[in-house]
Structure 1
Amino acid sequence: MSTTPHRSKTEPSAAPRPWRSLITLAIVTIAIFVSLGIGTKTSDASWAPKLALDLEGGTQLVLTPKTTDGSEITSEDINEAIAIIRQRVDASGVAEAEITRQGQQNIVVSLPGKPSDATLDLVRQSALMRFRPVLQIGQPGVVPADQLNLPDKAKEHPKAEEDKYFALADQDGDGKLSEEPQTAPSNNSDPAWVTEKILYDFLKHDCTDPANLTGGTVSDAKKPLVACDAKGEGKFILGPADLEGTEIKTAVGRPHMQGQVLTGDYEVGLEFKSDGTQQFAEVSKRLVSLPAPRNQFAMVLDGLVISAPRMQATIVDGKASITGGFTQEAALALAKQLSFGSLPLNFEVQSEEQISATLGTEQLERGILAGLIGLGLVMVYMIFTYRGLSIITLASLIIAAVLSYGTIAVLSWVQGYRLSLPGVAGLIVAIGITADSFIVYFERVRDEVREGASLQRAVTEGWRRARRTILASDAVNFLAAIVLYFLAVGGVRGFAFTLGLTTLVDLLVVFLFTHPLMELLVRTKFFGEGHKLSGLDPTHLGASPIYQGRGRIATGQPKKAKASAGGMTIAERRAAEREAQRAKNEEGVV
């Protein structure tokens, strides 16, 4: 006869290592604040998050779109102008800007803080459309220099090591990048337009960088251009402009028909004015005979390529259709952009002034006070209900607050994020969300204690049961924040952003701090032996009796639990039976 230890199926397979999680969280927290500290010394970072218009004020511009030929500006044109200005502002990194319509014609642009001159220039500039032939197409990103396969001639260039892009672009090897074609181009589609300078710009241009998707580029219509796709999905070398957008007569989105049959797709129908018809006929005749990608023409609006279709036939009547599997929404959107580009439009600045905060510091202080009151009420409830466990709650909430503050400060630095009063409200709501995670965890642990489990095992089993509930709850909150962020406008998006951010912080804190701290504290005498003020006192929780073998029941249980098996409830009796079976299994007699 031999004896072997038998592991209960409810025991963990390995000893928990809470220090690893705590150290990981400490590294993350330190990294956030060290990077912020470096940013304050080397860049424009600040220890305090930037504030939005409602809390800090900023600069307000009132613009009036006007056409140079006196043509009428429709309501859709105003909406498209607002969309273009919003794209410029968002891509320039300015967050929490407000762009609204005032009356029938004016556009009000409110920028928080002190925007740079470059940002103000972006807002003021007019939006032009031009049709340019495509000379070359490339991937949106920059090919890393160490992955460039230089030809032998370029490898011998003096700058081959320090600037491989320069060595590749400097085709004549004279150490200069020529901005003039080496041979006279025969037309706007001639590859001779790809000068050394244009090639160098194309190689180094990064269309995955939001800064290059702002639009508002002022370019010479008679010279080639490097431009990005409006969505950042490609980059182009374009020849001089063949046609101005003002030559468009109409642009409509409509169902695509093949013969007399609807295909289910949509197309954009274009019709040019009289001069534009003749110009487009010459362009189409030239492009249709060229190889790809030079058989494409790019529609460049506000310095970005909004479409670059292939020319499939010579069009002499000035009526063209752009196909390509458009949805109805995409076709209508492109038609609106083309219609807007047909206007000889300028933005006239009616006024430009500094505006004060709409709410101000007092409202921010009240918001912070509301958060502190909420935190105080949560702590009172936790102390009353969970006693010693409230220490874990307080420590976890402090860590969550530190992480949230640091993350918002870093986002203010690197992404231009600005904290608004609705964002502050999202942070206050997060106190309840985070506390809810603790309550779920504590109740699962206390349930295990009530069923007669030891405190060590109660923590392990309680966590196993609680984490699924916590993950499900936070997933719902995060999904709601995402939906609210993308569907809402204005300050509501600020609320949704901080709600989503603090939900992620909640998961990080619960998994890397709250649970590991609980594992450490339960090893202490105060918590591990179930002191009556610890919140884990088996007697106070009404724990079921624990069978200890040979007919013995653990002491220290409620009197009604000691009485007899017959006086137990069904749940208590089943718990006692499970403990008895577990004890027998642990004897391990073979």
Structure 2
Amino acid sequence: MLHLSRWKTVLIWLIVFVAALGAAPNLFTDVWLPGWMPHKRVALGLDLQGGSHIVLKAERSDIVRKRLENTVASVRGRLREAGIRYTGLAGNGQTIQVRITDPNQIDRAVSVLTPLTAAATGARDPDVTLSKGNDGQLTLQITGKAIGRSLLAALTQSVDIVGRRAVEAGGIDPVIETRGPDRLSVQVPGLADPQRFKDLSSQDGRLSFHLIDGSMSPQDAMGGTVPARSRIVYSQDDPPDAFLVERTEVLSSADLSDFQVEPGNDEESSILTFRINPESARRFAELTQKNVGRSLAILLDDQVIAAPDIGEPVAGNRGEIPLNYSQEETEDLAAILRSGALPVTLTIVEERTIDPGLGAGSIRSGLVAGFVGAVFVIGLMVAFYGILGVIAGAALVVNIMMILAVLSLSGAPLTLPGVAGIVLTIGIAVDATVLIYERIREEVKGGAHLDQAIEVGYSRAFMTVVDANITTLIAAAILFYLGSDAIRGFAVTLAIGILTTAFTAFLFTRPLVVAWVRHRRFKHLPKSVHTDLFDGTNIRFMGIRRYSFTALAALSLVSMLAVTTIGMNLGIDFTGGSVIEVRSKQGPADLEDIRSRLSQLNIGDIQARRLRDASNAIIRIEAQGGGENAEQSAITLVRSELADQYDFRRVEVVGPAVSGELTRTATLGVLASLAAILVYIWFRFEWQFAVGAIIATLHDVILTLGSFVVTGIEFNLTSIAALLVIVGYSLNDTVVVYDRMRENLKHFRKMPLPILIDASINQTLSRTILTSATTLLSLLALYLFGGEVIRSFALVMLFGVAVGTFSSIYIAAPVLILFRLRPKTFDEKEDGATDEKSGKATV
């Protein structure tokens, strides 16, 4: 008889109740909730709530240059202070060389310079190495690890500065994190003007005051020798003016605070005011008193922005700089100076900006796609299983509720690919339930009482479901580890969906099925279960295996040739460049006008296409090839050209450094996923099964890649996610068939392998058809209603699921025959296990 302990039942319903509480704030957004209930809602990713995700790269060359200059200055100062004569002091890269002219002072010079080689606090190795050569030559080498430590310190210091600039630009609760050895990841939700933030973050913001060297003109200095105490700088004018300024800073950003803006005499001028700290104000007053009649150069990031004359001593702690800037430009400068100077130059290498209106539209599309997909799936389950289908539908609702609860309570952001992951979960969630129901039906068909059939069905389906879903879980884990933030959102929802599916299939549905059987006192399955339609099938799948295998192998070869010769339409994730989605302010988007206007900007090849909504268009700009800054320069030109007629809804920019990294990461992700799955299947099954699964999976991947060539769909990071999910789904289907084959191999030892394989496929045919149908229906809903951004993902998945289902039968199964899998392999294992239990040894 069926028995489910009371405490287990109570625990199951308690978990469901907690999940309902966790999901409630998302379902009743405008309803007052009691204080004892959770109030956290699902955190939306930037692609759903709008905002900018920008990756900044710290320029290592800046750190090297500054460290080199400081070390050269330290060497010069120490040798002069010690009275040691030298010549040829110079630095290049990370190497500094100096020659001591007096041989008797070489050892003393080494002693004087040795403190420069001391290790930084907490470091095991020195920052600088010192070596002695011939003729008094000393060489100091700045170590790579020292540069790395300085770079990390600069990045850490930049986090707060960039955060303040994001707030100055109008951002709300920006999130800035270090990523890798030289990157900052910046997420600014709800940013109304991303261009202003990019302008603010791209400037170092180093303000300094220098006396102008009047001993010679800048032209004479450039034509002859620049005095050692001075250097040449240029203004921001076009063409720029040259200035010869003293190296010593009179004032710097560290001496100044409280930057404000006052209007100038006209619209093209303004005044930047500031406060000088007391000690610096005293020094500045003394210096200006001694240098009345000379001129000051005020530098911003080593460019002259003003050069006032010192007419009289400057007293007091207030100062002002007249600028030929508009008030808006000066406000930006004040914002930069208030936030503090960056310790290292930051270059934008990746940008993904979403307009809040587009994000809201994506949410609506995702909700519609999810609702339609759920209706399709539940309707199909009710049609085939009756009341058992209703229970499966209830499990699906609880499943979605649990996903929302976990996302809400954990704080994991929900991205647009994450919404796709939930919709996909709707399709594949019923797989476990179908496996259980079909096991129950087979037991009843074999003569078992319904109570016993339920017990056996849940028990036998468990390991099959585990084996089938582990492969998808592995793919999700690798996606999370290697993917971008949006793809990680997909991996998180997919992984959560797999775990909640296991809970709802084995724990939530079981007490409901038991209660239904006890209440109705059924001894057999009711007539409302219609999957017996497939019981009479006896299809000889292996009868045409040679033809099907040959045809699929030829098709795979053609796909590989197409990929290598014709090539896929690679997205900017792998090629670099920019994609811009614009919306016409009035009427439909004029593609010819867009192409004509942008072609005059000399930014390379321009592609433009209209979306389903005629007022929307997608513009793609090729990689600029002039370094990381060139991509942002192109976006600025496009904005200035089209802003009068179009609103910018989405901007994606990928620089050359990031595109190369994404290509390597994507390749590594696919290979790592295949390798991990191969190891798992090899561990769980015989080696022939593992080889068959991998060959079938490679077939699916190759044909899917070929579909990109045929359809011209853009291949990007989302496509990599689709590939890995197809890998997981295909293996899910293959493992279910393999599990039945392994079971039949133990019971029918003398049955010819082709016939046994056909029997196994026919026995699991109802599950295969139902699972494929529910998954395809969910993906169809995602394709039709999920929105433009996710449509290509859904189309690829539709193709991949169909191909994966087919390969489980006509690739994975024939490989077992090809590699001579025989029942005696299992006989030997079974006999060995029996002898071991009886205490007998086998030979």
TM-score range, shorter chain: 0.3 to 0.5
Q: Normalization by structure 2: what TM-score?
A: 0.31
Q: Pick 1 or 2: higher relative contact order, CA cutoff 8 A, min separation 6.
A: 1
Q: Which has the higher helix share?
A: 2
